[in-house]
Homo-oligomer: A and B are copies of this chain.
Amino acid sequence: SKRYSITLLPGDGIGPEVISVAKNVLNLAASIDGIEFKYEEVPIGGAALDLTGVPLPDETLLSAKQSDAVLLGAIGGYKWDKNEKHLKPETGLLKLREGLKVFANLRPATVLPQLVDASTLKREVAEGVDLMVVRELTGGIYFGKPRGFGTNENGEEIGFNTEVYAAYEIDRIARVAFETARKRKGRLCSVDKANVLEASMFWRKRIMEIALEYPDVELSHMYVDNAAMQLIRDPKQFDTIVTNNIFGDILSDEASMITGSIGMLPSASLGESGPGLYEPIHGSAPDIAGQDKANPLATVLSAAMLLKYGLGEEKAAKRIEDAVLDTLNRGFRTGDIYSTGTKLVGCKEMGEEVLKSV
């Protein structure tokens, strides 16, 4: 029997509810292959701020680093919105990404046939969408220095950040993206703003350089404003998208909303080595926290990504994905994906139904 150690980070809002469901599904699906987990549950974000005064306690980062994989619920909430930068829940998440060196954020956006009507896009536009955003996660304007507040040469107050990419940062995310595209439909679209920004011109140059290693992958380039349009006009044109941290933040959220079911979408953040970070795309939804209304499926599917990308346990991962589809086929829906004729359930009950389907 195999044993893995998992760090669980329930975080804030609906985080604890969805993590609790995902943990049960993970246990059952893996036990069939004789896999056992040792869990360490530690605080992050607002929960950590309230407990320890910082959004990422040293113990939390240490636990995550020493684990085989990290599963996160969600962070943030109104309560901490006005905190100073270093005391924001978001800063905890950014420090975790940085600490784990998980530079590659994989965000699939898939429209399931069962849920096509949940999209605000017309059926014929949404049907069959299946794309993957590969977002650079530990560089760019999120981490670039110098940053802060100051005064300019005229003595005016200013706020500033630096968008910066080094060759190795672009090269490594490019390789992850080309590998990903190779395993999918073989098409990679790199999104930048190379008609205006030097950081983007350099990005494009390096992407074209790395492309030489992947002659079997079809590479295209698109400006970010056009990409924001094309995702709405015809999302099916995309297979794999690679882009920088801030454009990836915007475009992956846009892509997820196109599916109409952001409560369904998982993500994986991977480094060169060491544990990956798995989390749903959605936020902490403080408005419905503690009400047993959250959709746990994005976190359940993040657990499947954890098994697949983090532990190489593809069979157990597939078991979870199939169980989710089976549960949907049996008609169960949380509020966010409910439509007439289906069975409305809460977070816990959805979890129990998935367990039955495993």
Chain A residues close to B by CB (< 8 Å): 76, 85, 88, 90, 94, 120-122, 125, 141-142, 144, 147-149, 152, 154, 156-168, 193, 195-203, 224-226, 228-234, 246-247, 249-254, 256-258, 262
Contacts and interface: CB of A to CB of B under 8 A. Distances in A.
Given A160-B165, A231-B254, 10 more contacts: A94-B196, A120-B122, A142-B197, A160-B163, A160-B198, A163-B163, A193-B246, A228-B253, A232-B257, A232-B258
B232 A90 contact: no
B161 A198 contact: yes
B250 A198 contact: no
Contact of A85 (B122, B148, B158, B198): B198
Q: What 7 pairs across the A-B complex have the smallest Cβ distances? A: A159-B202, A229-B257, A160-B164, A225-B253, A228-B254, A156-B166, A90-B195
A94 to B, nearest CB: 7
6 contacts: A120-B125, A144-B160, A158-B167, A159-B199, A224-B249, A228-B228
B141 A197 contact: yes
Total identical chains = 2
A251 B159 CA distance: 22
Contact of A121 (B122, B142, B163, B226): B122
B254 A88 contact: no
A166 B157 CA distance: 6
A159 B203 contact: yes
Nearest to A249: B225
Nearest to A142: B196
B164 A120 contact: no
B232 A195 contact: no
A239 B164 CA distance: 34
A229 B202 contact: no
A161 B163 contact: yes
A166 B152 contact: yes
Contact of A199 (B160, B193, B249, B262): B160
Contacts of A229: 253-254, 256-257, 262
A4 to B, nearest CB: 32
B228 A250 contact: yes
A141 B251 CA distance: 18
Contacts of A202: 149, 157-159
A39 B162 CA distance: 42
A207 to B, nearest CB: 12
Nearest to A167: B157
Contacts of A154: 166
Contacts of A142: 196-197
